[in-house]
């Protein structure tokens, strides 16, 4: 039994894990940003719609939602389990990211928006040029939290048959009857991915920080 080979088999699932995260996070960001803006500035109907979306998506366990979305998203268009799973993860993440961005926008002092309108900027310009840059900086710490969660939640797509890290660890555990080794290997890889990501985002935070702030 070749231990090195088994471990590299598990490690090669990293491609799928990273791929899924790199699809889900940006998709969640784009949708989350859109929905946050709709919630805050879209008028009564849209605002309520977004509130319902957020409550429902955050109220159901991700794996349950994943199965539901997988059979909806992949039922009409023929997508691979990997793509369907990643997009579903993005949709789930968008609800959480919507709340992060909404909270961050509401953190920016109301005076900023008022002043922007006072000097003649339209609502769209004020939001885009004045509000969002400040809000996104405020959102960054929470967002790096969400990034870590998405990387870890990518393991849920094992249930759809994607050969990512967790599924490979399960197969090796079944073949070799060495669960501790297989799952420890998976744990170390996930930890490394999340650690590197949060470190990089921490650097970004430092770069964007206002020097005068404590």
Rule CB under 8 A: which residues touch other proteins? 1-2, 5-6, 8-9, 12, 34, 37-38, 41-43, 46, 71-72, 74-77, 81, 123-124, 158-161, 163, 167-168, 170-175, 177, 179
Alpha helices (H) in 126-164, listed in sequence order: 132-153
CB nearer to other proteins: pick between 176 and 198: 176
Q: Cβ 20 to other proteins, closest distance in Å?
A: 15
d(CA 169, CA 181): 9
Of 7 and 139, which CB lies nearer to other proteins in the complex structure? Answer: 7
Task: Write the burial class of residue 29 (CB in 10 Å: 0-12 exposed, 13-18 middle, 19+ buried).
Answer: buried
Give whichever of 2 and 206 is closer to other proteins, judged by the CB atom.
2
Name the minimum Å distance from CB 162 to other proteins: 8
- For 4, 15, 186, 199, the CA distances from 178, given in Å and listed in that order, are 14, 23, 13, 32
Among residues 88 and 173, whose Cβ is nearest to other proteins?
173
Q: Closest distance between other proteins and the C-beta of residue 202, in Å?
A: 33
What gap in Å lies between CA 51 and CA 98, rounded to an integer?
A: 10
Q: How far is the CB of 41 from other proteins (least distance, A)?
A: 7
**Cβ atoms within 10 Å of 195's Cβ, excluding its own:** 11
């Amino acid at each position: 039994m070749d231990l090195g080979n088994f471990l590299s088999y598990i490690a090669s699932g990293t491609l799928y894990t990273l791929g899924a995260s790199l699809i889900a996070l940006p998709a969640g960001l784009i949708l989350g940003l859109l929905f946050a803006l709709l919630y805050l500035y879209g008028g009564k109907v849209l605002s309520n719609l977004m509130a319902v979306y957020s409550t429902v998506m955050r109220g159901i366990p991700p794996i349950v939602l994943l199965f539901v979305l997988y059979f909806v998203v992949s039922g009409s268009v023929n997508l691979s389990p990997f793509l369907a799973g990643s997009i579903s993860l993005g949709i789930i993440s968008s609800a959480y990211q919507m709340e992060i961005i909404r909270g961050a926008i509401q953190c920016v002092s109301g005076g900023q928006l008022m002043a922007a309108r006072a000097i003649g900027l339209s609502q769209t310009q004020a939001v885009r040029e004045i509000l969002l840059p400040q809000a996104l900086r405020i959102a960054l710490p929470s967002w790096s939290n969400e990034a870590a969660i998405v990387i870890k939640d990518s393991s849920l797509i094992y249930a759809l048959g994607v050969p990512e890290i967790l599924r490979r660890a399960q197969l090796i555990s079944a073949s070799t009857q060495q669960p501790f080794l297989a799952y420890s290997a998976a744990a170390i890889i996930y930890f490394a991915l999340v650690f590197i990501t949060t470190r990089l985002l921490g650097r970004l935070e430092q770069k964007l920080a206002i020097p005068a702030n404590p």
